[in-house]
């Protein structure tokens, strides 16, 4: 039997582990921060009609410039953004890959602040970009001083910031992002996958006059669209030109484009559940201390909580009850997605009983 080690794989990929969040068909799945509310049926019907139309034209390659989709996305984002400011791909993971293909790669480096989204370092290794981790402050916060000191010390080509940060839920002040931008001549990317759950300001407001600032978003979380795969980015049009150099032609299928355009035409209905999800998040933050756990403040649709005697044990106990949450590898901590009210009831009840 051939093993990976027998193959002439790139030296820098030897010994690495692929992304591997468990996918288990249990009743309560709160482990990858999806929106656990289904797409409203009226919107789903509209999406299906658009897909039917697109299928009839599927003998042709899709619009390589995904023009309608960029129009829909810029209208959704607002902040004076035009279609020329927008890029999109199959999930924001692919957007980040395009960014690292264009601005990173062999001989180049990207700075990040773990614990943060695990895909940031994995996409770095896939593109041959050196991943440079730097420490956070107390309770996983990040001050301008800490970020600027790391940027000046490490001198990387790219800086990745994540706001709110996954897996901690920590929001980032805009003045930290502005200070990071001023401290480097490189690219500063803010991953705003959870922006719709945050009450604070978005880095979109900083784009004007900052051509090296990139803000990535996704339809996977607030928009309940994880299965369709649509992520996007806003930046100066020159950045979009750079990303055109590395994408594969026709990377967004006509079906993906049609589905996303149809969903964006119903953005208020698609986002109707965001307030309820935030309520469930806040409910967990309120209830966890009484159960002996230490939740961190969160501006996203999940809660990281400490005070867990044995994370693996509790993870398994919950799993055996049909509740899947996430062991993100931080000792004595677990992360749970805010789901529906019923899912939150089940989770909190099980935790009270098992803890
Ligand atoms: C979930 C998540 C994404 C989303 O990735 P998609 O490829 O758009 O599904 C991006 N960034 C962070 C920080 C995330 O947690």
Per-residue pLDDT of the chain (355 residues; tens, 9 = 90+): 899 989 999 999 999 889 888 899 999 999 999 999 999 999 999 999 999 999 999 999 999 999 999 999 999 999 999 999 999 999 999 999 999 999 999 999 999 999 999 999 999 999 999 999 999 999 999 999 999 999 999 999 999 999 999 999 999 999 999 999 999 999 999 999 999 999 889 999 999 999 999 999 999 999 999 999 999 999 999 999 999 999 999 999 999 999 999 999 999 999 999 999 999 999 999 999 999 999 999 999 999 999 999 999 999 999 999 999 999 999 999 999 999 999 999 999 999 999 7
80 HSE (CA, 13 A, CB side): 7
What is the predicted pLDDT for the residue at 200?
80
pLDDT at 20: 84
Q: Are strands 294-295 and 302-306 parallel, antiparallel or unpaired?
A: antiparallel
Two structure tokens written together for 94: 């692919």
- Which parts of the chain fold into alpha helices (H)? 41-56, 67-77, 92-103, 118-126, 144-154, 174-183, 237-244, 254-264, 267-270, 274-287, 311-320, 341-354
- Ligand 1 centroid from CA 107, angstroms: 26
Say how far apart CA 217 and CA 92 lie, in whole Å: 6
CATH topology of domain 41-265: 3.40.640
Ligand 1 centroid – CA 197 distance (Å): 14
33 in contact with ligand 1, CB cutoff 6 A:
yes
Give the pairing of strands 334-337 and 302-306.
antiparallel
User: Which ligand 1 atom is at minimum distance from the Cα of 162?
Assistant: 13
The pLDDT of residue 343 is: 98
Is the CB of residue 228 less than 8 Å from the CB of residue 256?
yes
Give domain 17-39+268-354's CATH architecture.
Answer: Alpha-Beta Complex (3.90)
Is residue 91 lining ligand 1, measured as CB closer than 6 Å?
yes
**Domain spans in the chain, listed from the N-terminal domain onward:** 17-39+268-354, 41-265
Q: Is the CB of 301 under 6 A from ligand 1?
A: no
Contacts of 11 (CB under 8 A, 6+ apart): none
Which residue has the least CA distance to atom 10 on ligand 1? 193
Burial of 18 per CB tally in 10 Å (0-12, 13-18, 19+): exposed
CA 1 from centroid of its chain's CA atoms: 37
Identical fold, 17-39+268-354 and 41-265? no
Q: How far is it, in rounded angstroms, from Cα 129 to Cα 121?
A: 9
Query: Model's pTM, two decimal places?
Result: 0.97
Cα–Cα–Cα angle for 156, 159, 161, rounded to 5 degrees: 155
* Ligand 1 pocket test, candidate residues 88, 90, 93, most atoms within 8 A of CB: 93
pLDDT at 240: 98
């Amino acid at each position: 039997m051939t093993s990976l080690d027998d193959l002439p794989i790139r030296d820098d990929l030897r010994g690495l582990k692929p992304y591997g969040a468990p996918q288990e068909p249990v009743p309560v799945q709160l482990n990858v921060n999806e929106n656990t509310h289904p797409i409203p049926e009226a919107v789903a019907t509209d999406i299906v009609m658009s897909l039917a139309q697109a299928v009839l034209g599927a003998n042709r390659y899709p619009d390589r410039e995904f023009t309608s989709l960029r129009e829909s996305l810029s209208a959704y984002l607002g902040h004076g953004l035009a279609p020329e400011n927008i890029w999109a791909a199959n999930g924001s993971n692919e957007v980040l890959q395009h960014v690292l293909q264009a601005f990173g790669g062999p001989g180049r480096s990207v700075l990040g602040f773990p614990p943060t989204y695990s895909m940031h370092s994995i996409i770095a290794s896939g593109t041959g970009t050196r991943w440079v981790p730097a420490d956070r402050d107390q309770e996983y916060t990040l001050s301008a001083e800490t970020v600027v000191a790391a940027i000046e010390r490490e001198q990387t080509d790219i800086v990745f910031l994540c706001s709110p940060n996954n897996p901690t839920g920590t929001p980032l002040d805009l003045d930290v992002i502005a200070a990071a931008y001023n401290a480097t001549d490189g690219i500063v990317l803010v991953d705003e996958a959870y922006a719709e759950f945050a009450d604070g300001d978005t880095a979109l407001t900083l784009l004007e006059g900052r051509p090296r600032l990139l803000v990535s978003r996704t339809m996977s979380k607030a928009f309940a669209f994880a299965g369709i795969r649509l992520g996007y980015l806003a930046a100066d049009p020159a950045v979009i030109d750079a990303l055109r150099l590395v994408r594969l032609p026709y990377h967004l299928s006509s079906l993906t484009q049609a589905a996303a355009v149809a969903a964006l035409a119903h953005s208020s209905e698609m986002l109707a559940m965001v307030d309820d999800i935030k309520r469930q998040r806040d409910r967990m933050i309120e209830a966890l201390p009484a159960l002996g756990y230490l939740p961190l403040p969160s501006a996203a649709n999940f809660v990281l909580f400490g005070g867990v005697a044995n994370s693996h044990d509790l993870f398994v106990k919950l799993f055996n009850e049909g509740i899947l949450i996430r062991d993100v590898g931080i000792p004595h901590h677990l992360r749970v997605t805010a789901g529906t009210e019923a899912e939150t009831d089940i989770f909190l009840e099980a935790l009270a009983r098992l803890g």
